[in-house]
Amino acid sequence: MNDTQKYNTTMKAISIILPVYNAEKYLNKCLNALINQTFSDIEILCINDGSSDSSLSILEKFAHNDKRIRIFSVPNQGPATARNIGLQNSTGKYLMFCDSDDWYAPTYCEEMFAIMENEHVDIAMCAANLIKESSNSRQDNLAYYQLPSSGKKYLYTFEDIHEINVLLWSKIFKKSIVDQFNIRFPDKLIHDDDAFVFLYTLHCKTIYYHNKELYNYLIRDLNSSVSQFNTAINSMMRINMTHAVYEQLVKNNVIEQYKDYYASFYNHNFGITLLMTDYRMLIDFLEKEQKFIREKDLNFKIDDNNINILKNDMNAFIKYKKLTLSRKELIKKRNRLEKKLVFKQIINIITLNSIRGIRKSIKNLKFLIDIADKQLESENK
């Protein structure tokens, strides 16, 4: 790793951490927005994560003209490791993040800095402007990007923390909290932003919701490398992320203090993983998590009995699935719907309705199954 230019390590107001991997198509717009912020007391830490395109050349061109830009070039290790390099080398009082295909509104840093200084909160969060790259861009849940409230709020319970989404780029963090509790991204795992935001907000008493769109988020095309990620692997890495969070809490000697918060965090992510994982991988997943749960003296809502029931149901479903593969497409469609319904009902119980939209999804699935049943009934007449 090398920092490509000498740098004055006097503390800046804000450190902006920017992981970069093969972003030549978007990088000029992103960097121009950063260097032209109305608030100038910033440093921009660009971590070139083994790019094979012209990203590094673009970074070097900008760094030559603006000494606030620092470049760190490392072999490709993923965004979590890149962000940790940014954390380790940051000098700012506050921390912000940016993705290399997005861009800041001109007053983003100025407004977020003012909120932290004037409102005396531990974290602040703004709204985002969502921009589709093309008509082929993926469909996102727009509600997820909306703020749950406005103004200054106190964080008393896990439910208060759970309202905060895990988007790094819409927030400003105190470096003092990150350093005091040694908060880091779990290396080589996706969902590293979930881990970081959860670990950080555990130590927060207050948040400020700034209902202004100050971050421009580009929704990429479905055929982009970012979009083409195996859903099954993605879901398994989510539960691995919760294990990494547990290890950080143990390492920092705060697991006893936050064990109930962690249990709720684990329950929520267990449910999501169960919902997203391919049925052929579920038995291995359940056995692995059964072992994890047995080893931890925590208040999990999932116990041996729950998992044994799920494993038995899954085995029965797999056998049934094998028997019905040669049946008509309509029956296969109905079976898929039924499988989704069963697991969403289980998840709804385990997570105590903590996954948004689950009840509506169950209702819709029941409706679709009813339609399939009527079609089958008419076909048999």
pLDDT score for 325: 36
Instruction: Calculate mean pLDDT across residues 153-172.
Output: 93
| Residue scoring higher pLDDT (107 or 140) | 107
pLDDT score for 134: 73
Which residues have C-beta within 8 Å of that of residue 204, sequence separation ≥ 6? 122, 123, 155, 161, 177
Residue type, 277: T
What's this model's pTM, rounded to 2 decimal places? 0.79
| DSSP summary character for residue 135 | T
Other beta carbons within 10 angstroms of residue 162's beta carbon come to 16
Instruction: Calculate mean pLDDT across residues 332-351.
Output: 64
Which residue in 9, 380, 30, 8 sits closest to 216, CA to CA?
30
Q: Residue 345's pLDDT band (boundaries 50, 70, 90)?
A: low
H helix runs in the chain, sequence order: 27-35, 55-65, 79-89, 108-119, 158-162, 175-180, 192-201, 231-251, 259-276, 282-295, 304-324, 329-350, 358-380
User: Are 301 and 271 a contacting pair, CB within 8 Å?
Assistant: no
Q: Residue 20's pLDDT band (boundaries 50, 70, 90)?
A: very high
pLDDT score for 118: 98
At residue 69, does pLDDT exceed 80?
A: yes
| Residue scoring higher pLDDT (245 or 162) | 245
At residue 352, does pLDDT exceed 60?
A: no
pLDDT in tens, 163-201: 999 999 999 999 999 999 999 999 988 899 999 999 999
Mean pLDDT of the chain: 82
- How far separated are the first and last CA of the chain, in Å rounded? 71
Highest mean pLDDT among 157-166, 233-242, 360-369: 157-166
Residue type, 241: M
pLDDT score for 310: 63
For residue 36, give Cα distances in angstroms to 39, 129, 366.
Answer: 8, 19, 52
User: Are 357 and 275 a contacting pair, CB within 8 Å?
Assistant: no
pLDDT score for 293: 83
Pull the structure tokens for residue 343: 């697991």
Q: Residue 277's pLDDT band (boundaries 50, 70, 90)?
A: confident
pLDDT score for 323: 41
What is the C-alpha to C-alpha distance for residues 104 and 126, in angstroms, rounded to an integer? 11
Q: Residue 97's pLDDT band (boundaries 50, 70, 90)?
A: very high
Where are the chain's structural domains? 2-219, 231-380
State whether residue 94 is helix, strand or coil.
strand
Half-sphere exposure of 72 (CA within 13 A, CB side): 23
Highest mean pLDDT among 12-16, 230-234, 295-299, 308-312: 12-16
What is the C-alpha to C-alpha distance for residues 361 and 337, in angstroms, rounded to an integer? 11
pLDDT score for 209: 97
pLDDT score for 362: 57
| DSSP summary character for residue 12 | P
Instruction: Calculate mean pLDDT across residues 80-95.
Output: 97
CATH architecture of 2-219: Alpha-Beta Complex (3.90)
pLDDT score for 331: 63
Pull the structure tokens for residue 167: 């988007």
Instruction: Calculate mean pLDDT across residues 244-273.
Output: 90
pLDDT in tens, 198-245: 999 999 999 999 999 999 999 877 554 444 445 556 767 888 999 999
pLDDT score for 348: 62
User: Are 15 and 91 a contacting pair, CB within 8 Å?
Assistant: yes
Taking each helix axis from N to C terminus, what angle separates 231-251 and 192-201, rounded to the nearest 10 degrees? 30
Which residue in 77, 86, 14, 101 sits closest to 47, CA to CA?
86
Which residues have C-beta within 8 Å of that of residue 84, sequence separation ≥ 6? 184, 185, 187
Q: Residue 324's pLDDT band (boundaries 50, 70, 90)?
A: very low
pLDDT score for 224: 47
Surface-to-core class of residue 323, CB atoms within 10 Å of its CB (0-12 exposed, 13-18 middle, 19+ buried)? exposed
Other beta carbons within 10 angstroms of residue 9's beta carbon come to 9
At residue 5, does pLDDT exceed 90?
A: no
Lowest mean pLDDT across 54-68, 69-83, 107-121, 339-353 = 339-353
Q: Residue 327's pLDDT band (boundaries 50, 70, 90)?
A: very low
pLDDT score for 282: 74
